Amino acid sequence: MSVYILALETSCDETACSVIKDGKEVLSNIVSSQINIHSQFGGVIPEVASRIHVENISLVIQEALEKAEVTMDEVAGIAVTVGPGLIGSLHVGVMAAKTIAWLYDKPLIPIHHIVGHIYANKIVDDIQFPLLSLVVSGGHSELVFMKDDWSFKVLGTTQDDAVGEAYDKVARLLHLPYPGGPQIDRLAKQGKPHYTLKTPKTEGAYDFSFSGLKSSVLQLMERLKKQKEEIVEADIAYSFQEVALNMLVDKTMLAVEQYKPKHVVLAGGVAANSRLRSLITEKMESYPNVKLTIPPLSCCTDNAAMIGVSGYMAYQKGLFADLSIGANPWIDIESS
Amino acid sequence: MLTLCLDTSHKYLSVSIIKDQRILASYDELCFKKQSESVFPVILKVVQDAKIKKEEIDSVCISIGPGSYTGLRIALTIAKVMCSMKRLDLYVISTLKLYANNMKNTYVMLDARGNRIYHALYDQGKVIIEEHVTTIDELNLDRSYHLVGDASLLGLEDQYECISECFLNTKADWEKVDSIHTLIPSYLKSDQEYIKS
Ligand SMILES: [Zn+2]
């Protein structure tokens, strides 16, 4: 008999619901994006995001069930992102999931958002262990090593801003609209290696740091202005992107050397970046025995299908929560 | 009619099951910042105390605000999901009107933080002063009237009616919601204002 998981994801600015069959097949994947609203303000305003989640939540759930043509009787469990993320946003999804779990007497399956991003790769590929995942998004920059299925070790993380956040901040300096990632990616293609930006230092070998890089961009622009030199925005975008992405990819390669994974996967919204895709593909050519998966764009950004795929795994393991569970923005992936 | 009534809009967590003109079971406690964790254990207990099955519930009534933004979204999320999925009737009532408990000449004032309050005046359910946000300094209260809510802001004692009983006593003022999916709380402060401040 098939196992259907209904999954909810509201950790940031997407209200999403999905139905997943047997942990792999996406029957529906409804995402109601708030990006047009937040782009007016150059970023996500938490209170506004929470308001839109509560406005959309019931319709998104209904659409996901209708599209999947699955009834609640057939659903085995309710998976939901409990963290990390914006507390007010997480609350709405967790409350909705608890309501459904109670109404239909289904197990409630709490899922770590990053686990979702990693397992999103399962939608498009068989995943092999040991696995190394580079998780990059507006909220996260982490290197996660998985010795086996459902075992998570964080090798390194950002010490300040997430890489996506750095993109947004630099985009603002360059007067580009929000979200900054695709804008800088596009502009950098026209840029040349004209400016030098230093790679920020970090404590741990696998840790990242991006706020210093953003400051370097700011200092460079101010210096150029003072010296009445032309500011070539495309060249700034190019240099920023090269430093940021090389830091990510170099540390990933270092981890490949040391941890010898069989499979390397990209995850998170920044995995949509075209330069990151080409850079990691290029570097991985030196490791022909290690499989590389770069998920399609639709799997990279926040969605509930990835929570459903992870939810199926957790369902098999009986990792359920009771109805007194709350959203937890500081949840630790290693305790998943 | 068997109604699940929920109020998470301010300092209390109130859950009750009301059958026609009777409260079958209820829970009313002060609940600081723990409403989202407590609400389902409490619902489970109240449903059990009422000796009903949750499947018998045919309607939900919630307070729709104004109040704490996070709090308002708790009951609203439960109600929207429950009523849309199970096709139940959904009713709402203004939090201030609920707290006025259908009493004669009753002011309601709730702390809206930053020296502001949510304020209204009702006379047995009739709106005398519409709900609005104001400052404490601007209040000019008729001392012969009732005062409900965070009266401690005026140096008096906080004054609250039992909220489950308020639901029962204001039943004539419950408003049926036609479009459940598009329902939003009454924040009394728009997104635009929120962003500017
Ligand atoms: Zn994400």
Q: Among B54, B74, B194, whose Cβ lies nearest the Cβ of A95?
A: B74
Report which of A321, A310, A315 is spatially closest to residue A121, judged by C-alpha positions.
A310
Q: Are residues B167 and B89 in the same domain?
A: yes
Q: What mean pLDDT comes out for the span A296-308?
A: 93
Report which of A182, A183, A209, A206 is spatially closest to residue A197, judged by C-alpha positions.
A209
Kindly tell me if the per-residue pLDDT of A240 is higher than 60. yes
- Determine the distance in angstroms separating the CA of B122 from the nearest CA of chain A, rounded to an integer: 28
Q: What mean pLDDT comes out for the span A107-115?
A: 97
Q: What mean pLDDT comes out for the span A89-98?
A: 98
Best B48, B53, B57, B73 residue to mutate vs chain A (most A CBs within 10 Å): B73
Q: Are residues B123 and B82 in the same domain?
A: no
Q: What mean pLDDT comes out for the span B112-131?
A: 94
Q: Are residues B58 and B70 in the same domain?
A: yes
- Determine contact, residues A240/A193, Cβ cutoff 8 Å: no
- Determine contact, residues A147/A135, Cβ cutoff 8 Å: no
Q: Are residues B41 and B136 in the same domain?
A: no
* A–B interface: beta-carbon pairs under 8 A: 88
Query: Alpha-carbon Rg of chain B, whole angstroms?
Result: 16
pTM: 0.95
Portion 97-116 of A in contact with B at CB < 8 A = 98-100, 102-103
pLDDT at B197: 42
Instruction: Name the helix (H) or strand (E) containing A132.
Output: strand A131-136
Domain of B86 in residue numbering reads as 2-95+163-196
**Rounded to the nearest 5°, which phi and psi values hold at A162?**
-75, 160
Q: Are residues B11 and B84 in the same domain?
A: yes
Q: Are residues B68 and B141 in the same domain?
A: no
Q: Are residues B10 and B88 in the same domain?
A: yes
- Determine contact, residues B62/B5, Cβ cutoff 8 Å: yes
Query: Alpha-carbon Rg of chain A, whole angstroms?
Result: 20
CA–CA distances in Å: residue A322 to residues A28, A273, A334, B168: 26, 38, 20, 31
Q: Are residues B60 and B130 in the same domain?
A: no
CA atoms of A64 and A83, how far apart (whole Å): 22
Please, what are the domains in chain A? 4-119+300-335 (3.30.420.40), 126-294 (3.30.420.40)
Q: Please tell me the distance between residue A84's alpha carbon and the centre of ligand 1 in angstroms.
A: 9
Neighbour count for residue A250 (Cβ, 10 Å): 13
- Determine the distance in angstroms separating the CA of B109 from the nearest CA of chain A, rounded to an integer: 23
pLDDT at A36: 82
Give the residues across from A15 on adjacent strands.
A32
Report which of B68, B4, B10 is spatially closest to residue B42, judged by C-alpha positions.
B4
Q: Are residues B149 and B102 in the same domain?
A: yes
Q: What mean pLDDT comes out for the span A182-204?
A: 94
Kindly tell me if the per-residue pLDDT of B125 is higher than 80. yes
Q: Output the domain CATH number for residue B110.
A: 3.30.420.200
3-state secondary structure of B135: strand
What is the chain A residue with the closest CA to B192? A48
What is this model's ipTM? Answer: 0.96
pLDDT at A38: 81
Interface contact B184-A51, CB threshold 8 A: yes
pLDDT at A138: 86
Q: Are residues B44 and B110 in the same domain?
A: no
CA atoms of B2 and A310, how far apart (whole Å): 38
How high is the mean pLDDT of chain A?
A: 95
Residue A71 tokens, joined: 């009834």
Interface contact A324-B38, CB threshold 8 A: yes
Q: Are residues B104 and B129 in the same domain?
A: yes
Q: Are residues B14 and B39 in the same domain?
A: yes
Kindly tell me if the per-residue pLDDT of A96 is higher than 80. yes
How many distinct structural domains can be found in chain B?
Answer: 2
Q: pLDDT > 90: what percent of chain B?
A: 89
Exposure string for A22-32, b = 16+ CB within 10 A, e = fewer? ebeebbbbbbb
Q: What is the DSSP annotation of A270-302? A: GGG-HHHHHHHHHHHTT-TTSEEE---HHHHS-
- Determine contact, residues B150/B117, Cβ cutoff 8 Å: yes
Amino acid at A316: Q
